[in-house]
Amino acid sequence: MKIDCLLAGVGGQGTVLASKIIAQTAMSKQVFARSSETIGMAQRGGSVVSHVRIGSRDCSPAIPNGMADLIIGFEPAEAVRNIGILKPAGKLIINTNPVIPVTASLGGASYHVEDILKYLKNSAHEAIFVDGQKLVAAAGTAKALNVIMLGVAIKKGLLPFSREDILKTIADKLPSKFVALNSKALEVGYNFADYK
């Protein structure tokens, strides 16, 4: 089992927790895991990425360009920012709902989400679009987008784990008050039907 997965989003979207769940699940299957996160000033609403590398002790903690098997994009523009890291045969799961930075409204660069989504569709071997807003409503909390995205990845066979594996990590590693919420979010992602 060797998988390199990048999670890209905006500070506050929960990329760190999602990457920890992936790495912990690999470890529960006795597979070596590395990851690295953005921590510090950039967390305040800035661009954040998490790298998760499973199955190799000899790798560095950050995925080299053109080496990622999978990108989970929590936000369209952030996925584009990191697209160079994807393998030519790599896959992409993308939340289609943009987080529009206030700087765009203040007259900075504008945000054309349709162009960005079109670009993403053409950039990956397979691009799965997820209407995060709709699924978040089904899960009952906006905080669970991260685990919903994991549910989609599992269903699509893009991570080498079963739904039960992830549920076990959620139950074992998260504070008890968050277990029910995240388990439900995983189900919502898992049961998601394709959005074209």
Coil vs helix vs strand at 39: coil
Among 1, 2, 29, 84, interactor with another protein by CB under 8 A: 84
To the nearest whole angstrom, how small is the minimum distance from the Cβ of residue 66 to another protein? 3
Stretch that binds another protein, among 42-50, 154-162, 180-188 (CB under 8 A): 42-50
Q: 76 with 22: CB under 8 angstroms? A: no
The amino acid that residue 31 corresponds to is V
If one asks whether residue 175 binds another protein (CB under 8 A), the answer comes out as: no
* Residue range at the interface with another protein (CB under 8 A); choices 21-29, 150-158, 160-168, 182-190: 21-29
Strand blocks (E) in 45-84 = 47-54, 68-73
Query: Which residue from 86, 139, 174, 186 is in contact with another protein, where contact means CB under 8 A?
Result: 86
Report helix, strand or coil for 175.
coil
Task: Kindly state whether residue 101 participates in binding another protein, applying the rule CB under 8 A.
Answer: yes
Binding to another protein, residues 135-164 (CB under 8 A): 142
Terminal-to-terminal C-alpha distance of the chain = 30
Q: From residue 62, how far is each of 4, 58, 159 by CA, in Å?
A: 9, 12, 18
Alpha-carbon distance of 79 to 124, in angstroms, equals 11
Q: By the criterion CB under 8 A, which residues form the site for another protein?
A: 10-12, 20, 23-24, 27, 32-47, 58-62, 64-67, 77-78, 80-81, 83-84, 86-88, 100-106, 108-112, 115-116, 119, 122-123, 142
